[in-house]
Amino acid sequence: MPEIEIQNEPCSEGAAIVIFGVTGDLARRKLMPGLYENAIRGRLPQPFYIIGFARRPWSHEKMREVLYQGVYDHGRSETIDDEILNQLLNRAFYVESTFQDPDGYVKLEQALDQLGIRNTLFYLATPPGWYATIVENIGRFKMETCQEGLRRIVVEKPFGRDLETALSLDDELHSVFLEDQIYRMDHYLGKETVQNILAFRFGNGIFEPLWNRKYIDHIQITMAETEGVGTRAGYYDHAGVIRDVFQNHLLQLLTLTAMEAPAVFNAKAVRDEKVKVLKSIQAVKGDDALKNTFRAQYVSGTIAGKRVKSYRDEPDVSPDSITETYLAARLYLNNWRWAGVPFYLRSGKRLPNRVTEIAIQFRQVPLALFGQQNLAGEAPNVLILRIQPNEGITLFLGAKVPGSVMRVEPVEMRFNYADAFGGEPPEAYERLLLDCLTGDATLFTRNDEVEEAWQLTQGILDAWENQDLRNLAVYEAGTQGPHGADDFILRDGRQWRKI
């Protein structure tokens, strides 16, 4: 390892982040810009150190150059303060080692001792296959604890690829770290507009009385992407939508939409309520899983005027792949608030627009008073919580058009995050990195939460294993999705919102 040249500093209340896999895209695109944004706002403990750990033959200077450029390429600030950025990177050091080499961890331990930092955050920015090896070696050299200091570890999703591997990963983590040291990162929970779901629900008295089965007909949670699999094909072809976004992102949005108000706003209380929601979801297994899910795969089509190839023609995708790139699911919650209200979850790649939203469809009015002139429909009230893009909240109402004729048309009441607060919301990693450093686990998934989500997902996966998919449904890239998904929801007398 190149020598770490620093002035001798006493053991302090500062902190260090050790980024395993620092040479990958995550460190350059998300972690370093997030650290910089916190630095310019004076939020990082001081002194603050960055230690990169990876196998490439880099020097300290090489790593600093790459991370420096990462802030310029991917930071959200329009202008970069070079003085603050260089101050941050002057305390960035590199450890060259493979993840399985014990000598690398000896070098890491020596670096931490030399820097004299008590508080350390280990960040696993690596492929999931390396998690167990890294954790085992951290434990071998007793780096998970520090006298008079705090040690924590951040694990990026996916947390396993099925229930069995998720439980195995959990055991491996707990063999070295305590649960309150483990921060399972689902970056969706760090999005400002996702957090706004709780503020909207529990900070406004006019909506909470309506947030139940008496007034809500159904809820649609949508995560649509225009992109294909890109460079992730090797992973995606073994994961599909169900592992990539359903088991984590979509179920997380469901829990925040459906949970009861916590007694207090802290990590334990919030996560307790989310787990209750997951436990209340009606099991989806066997024939019920096949009846309540629909999957499909995109074929060649046109997006934004450009012809794109089919999924099976993507590099690193099997030519006879039956991996789903579109999933629709119908879930019910067995509790007093939501009994009988269907939650429709859908996600797909190569759809016409990039949209993540939660749509709450309120029930029809008791009597249709305005006949054919009611162009707003008998159930005009829809509340849209838009996660991305154009983050904000929209409420659709029926209103009378000016004039002598009683004609009702749909209108919108709209809140836009950027207009209201004078800029785009912070990046998720900016908030989540700070929470890791300060020890706030509210926006991170707990082990029982992960297990419950996998219990539900595993029932679907098991049912799919026995399904004949030689004629897997398809949809043309750039369209609203497969026709079968429309039939899936039309059988309930409902229809999807247009993407």
Q: Look at the alpha carbons of 302, 305, 309, 315 in this order and tell me if their dihedral is positive or negative.
A: negative
Give me the phi and psi of 380, to 5 degrees please: -80, -10
Q: Clarify whether 249 is annotated catalytic.
A: yes
Question: Residue 421 in 3-state DSSP?
Answer: helix
Closest CA to 48 of 436, 425, 444: 436
Q: Look at the alpha carbons of 380, 381, 386, 391 in this order and tell me if their dihedral is positive or negative.
A: positive
Phi-psi region of 482 (alpha: psi -120 to 50; beta: other; left: phi over 0): beta
Residue 319 and residue 312 in contact, taking contact as beta carbons nearer than 8 Å: yes
DSSP character for 173?
H
Going from the C-alpha of 91 to that of each of 4, 19, 23, the distances in angstroms are 9, 14, 17
> Catalytic one among 60, 187, 218, 249?
249
Residue 324 and residue 296 in contact, taking contact as beta carbons nearer than 8 Å: yes
CA distance 162 to 456: 10
- The structure tokens 């908030």 sit at 431
Neighbours of 282 (CB within 10 A): 14
* Contacts of residue 288, Cβ cutoff 8 Å, sequence gap at least 6: 463
Based on the number of CB atoms within 10 Å of its own CB, is 150 exposed (0-12), middle (13-18) or buried (19 or more)? middle
Beta-bridge partners for 96 = 54
Cα dihedral value 487, 282, 188, 211, nearest 10: 90
Q: What is the full DSSP assignment across 45-68?
A: -SSEEEEEEESS---HHHHHHHHH
Residue 40 and residue 75 in contact, taking contact as beta carbons nearer than 8 Å: no
CA distance 297 to 282: 27
Phi-psi region of 468 (alpha: psi -120 to 50; beta: other; left: phi over 0): beta
CA distance 305 to 323: 26
Q: How many residues does the chain have?
A: 499
* Contacts of residue 278, Cβ cutoff 8 Å, sequence gap at least 6: 251, 255, 449, 452, 453, 456
Residue 259 and residue 232 in contact, taking contact as beta carbons nearer than 8 Å: no
- What's the distance, CA 161 to chain centroid? 16
Q: Which active-site residues does the annotation give?
A: 249
